[in-house]
Chain A
Amino acid sequence: MISPGEPVRTVFNPTIAKLALQALLGRRRFYLLLAFPVLLIGLVTLITVLADGDAAFEILPGLGYPLVLPLVAILAASSVLGPEVDDGSIVYLLSKPVSRYGVAISKWVVALGATLTAGALPILVAALITGDSTRALGLFVGAVVAGTTYSALFLAISAVTRHAVIASLMFVLIWESLLGNLFTGIAWLSIGQWGLRIGHEISSELPDPANLGYAIIASLLVTVVGVWFAGDRLRSFTLRGDE
């Protein structure tokens, strides 16, 4: 940073967080983000009414947890950083004497808040609708852990490539879902499975794919490294043209 005096070293910057929140809640994006919880809760309610709670609960580990939660995290993480990188206006932010790690942390906090509100909370509500509150709580804890880790990882991916959304989707859909269903060993390298393992401690109805200590440490590690890496990428950011 070529500026007189010390750069302002705040860890969390409320102004940047506010701007990120505005970017996130821009008209259309907000509706897209809102569509996920509405869809999930609506579907689960419908099936609980038509069939029964246990049949409806199958939707959550089958669709809500492995698909809706990461999609919300992808949408949130890429909206707080993506548009600025896309149209180049990030240089105005980076020219300010604010620690790049502070930028990354502020943006991550907003993405995390959105992921938990539009991803994890609807899972809790939907799971409560199906009955059994212990099971609901277990899945919610898993969703909070996985949502936190996902948002950090996807923020890091957003800071690296313009194709962040597709790269993140490939991680979720191909690595975690497609290959994860074929090879059980992928549970050791799957954020969703770590969350489920932690949720398993509360409700034994959830699967226990990996070791508990490992799941906690791995989730923490990916979160911290992800946010740090996003800050580090912003520190040595080079603006490229489209394509």
Chain B
Amino acid sequence: MSDMSRPGVIHDLGYRHYDGLREGTPAIARTLFVTGLRHVYGLGRSGKSKVMPFLLLAMSVLPALIVVGVVVLTGLDSLPVSYADYTNQTQLLVSLFAAAQAPVLFSRDLRHRSIVLYLARPLSAPVFAVMRWLSLTVALWLFMAVPTLMLFIGAMLSGLDKSDQVTQLLKAVVLQTLLALLIAGITGLISSVSLRRGFAVVGSVMALIVLTGVVTAVQAIAAEQDADSASTTAGLFSPWSLYSGLANAWDAGIDTFVPVDGAWAVAYALVALLLAAACLLALVARFRKVGSR
């Protein structure tokens, strides 16, 4: 589509003219999204860049295959671990994947200043930030969805109750989407501020793994001291405890120290959505700032 307000997007240097279709911002955004998604998994990059994402993916799929094998061989009538809980159990791998791959999307362009080349196109800094964030979100969601899908296929093949499994699966998928939005925002923001890969990774690990460890410890101790509401409140402070709390409230098969119910479920959902929105806004602000320099 020829954009009359911004002529010359395809630079006319006086060589051969381009008379074809001129696509606008949506096409650039779409391409950026797809390229970003591929780059998270190292596709279209060097062979070495593929090692880490696929190694982590393989490690998170392997236990699912083992679980399926056990179910098939022993003829259990339910999966020993629910779909949502499987993601929770492999949270270390998901967190590491996010921490390792977020700098690929958010640090490199800023560190090498290639961001100015992107922004020289009719693509605004906010759209760039949102597209990068979407790429990471979808990549993270896929990372969690692949083992979930393996479990589901296994459950179907071994003849477990279909409607029951589908309900659990759909719940897990919704929760995973929310979690992916959250984690992508947090790790993306950290990587876009801390441009050295190493520090971005350690920062993300602190925000995802150390913080979750702290929250879990506080929750356990508070529950032991019969301070139930303190335990539930502590859960609001890390993405993984938000995830497991919401899954518990929604009956998706995760046990928390204290059951999350009633208004707490609403609070958990609101905090998760607000946190994701705040991270996205901060990302947009960050890219707007670096784009204006």
B196–A86 touching, CB < 8 Å: yes
The minimal Cβ–Cβ distance linking A49 to chain B, given in whole angstroms, is 12
- The answer to the question of B210 belonging to the interface, with a C-beta cut-off of 8 Å to chain A, is yes
Map CB proximity to A onto B197-238 as digits: 1 under 8 Å, 0 otherwise.
111011101100110011001100100110000000000000
Contact between A47 and B96, CB atoms less than 8 A apart:
no
| Residues in A whose Cβ lies below 8 Å from that of B131 | none
Contact residues, B68-105 vs A (CB, 8 A): 92-93, 96, 99-100
Q: Is the CB of A164 closer than 8 A to any CB of chain B?
A: yes
Contact B202 A166 (CB under 8 A): no
Within residues 190 to 243 of chain A, which ones have a CB less than 8 A from any CB in chain B? 242-243
Q: Is the CB of A71 within 8 A of B206?
A: yes
In the complex, which residues of chain A have a beta carbon less than 8 angstroms from the beta carbon of B96? 166, 169-170, 173-174
Closest to A33 in B: B202
User: B271 at the A/B interface (Cβ < 8 Å)?
Assistant: no
Question: CB within 8 A of A29: which of B49, B99, B197, B199?
Answer: B199
Question: Contacts of A82 on B, CB cut-off 8 Å?
Answer: 196, 198
> Which of A10-18, A55-63, A102-110 faces chain B?
A55-63
User: Does the CB pair A243–B46 fall under 8 Å?
Assistant: yes
Q: Mark B35-66, 1 if CB is under 8 A from A, else 0.
A: 00000000001101100100000010000000
Q: DSSP class of A's interface residues: helix, strand, loop or mixed?
A: helix
At the interface, yes or no: A96 with Cβ under 8 Å from chain B? Answer: no
Count residues of chain A with CB under 8 A from any CB of chain B: 38
Q: Assess the A165–B202 pair: CB atoms within 8 A.
A: yes
B190 to chain A, nearest CB (A): 11
Which of B52, B202, B203 has most chain A Cβ within 10 Å? B202
Closest Cβ neighbor of B48 among chain A residues = A243
Contact A169 B221 (CB under 8 A): no
* Other-chain residue from A56, A71, A242 in contact with B108 (beta carbon distance below 8 A): A242
Tally the A-B contacts, defined by beta carbons under 8 Å.
90
Contacts of A58 in B (CB 8 A): 217, 221
**Contacts A28-B199, A32-B199, A82-B196; A71 near B92 (Cβ below 8 A):** no
Is A63 a contact partner of B201 (Cβ separation < 8 A)? no
**CB atoms of B202 and A51 under 8 A apart:** no
Within 144-184 of A, Cβ neighbours of B (below 8 Å) are at 162-166, 169-170, 173-174, 177-178
Which of A47, A62, A162, A169 meets B205, CB within 8 Å?
A169
Query: Are A28 and B198 also in contact (CB < 8 A) when A47-B218, A55-B221 are?
Result: no
Residues of B within 8 A of A177 (CB): 92
Cross-chain contact A43 with B214 (CB below 8 angstroms): yes
Closest B-chain residue to A178, C-beta based? B92
| A32 → chain B closest CB, angstroms | 6
Interface status of A99 (Cβ within 8 A of chain B): no
A83 CB–B CB distance under 8 Å: yes
Contacts of A62 in B (CB 8 A): 213, 217
Nearest A residue (CB) for B51: A163
Q: What's the nearest-Cβ distance from chain A to residue B62, in Å?
A: 12
Given contacts A78-B198, A166-B96, A243-B48, contact A71 B214 (CB under 8 A): no
B→A interface (CB under 8 Å): 45-46, 48-49, 52, 59, 92-93, 96, 99-100, 108, 112, 194, 196-199, 201-203, 205-206, 209-210, 213-214, 217-218, 221, 224-225
Q: Nearest 10 pairs between A and B by C-beta?
A: A165-B198, A78-B198, A165-B201, A166-B100, A63-B213, A82-B198, A55-B221, A243-B46, A75-B202, A59-B217
Between-chain CB contacts (< 8 Å), 5 pairs: A79-B199, A83-B196, A164-B198, A165-B201, A242-B112
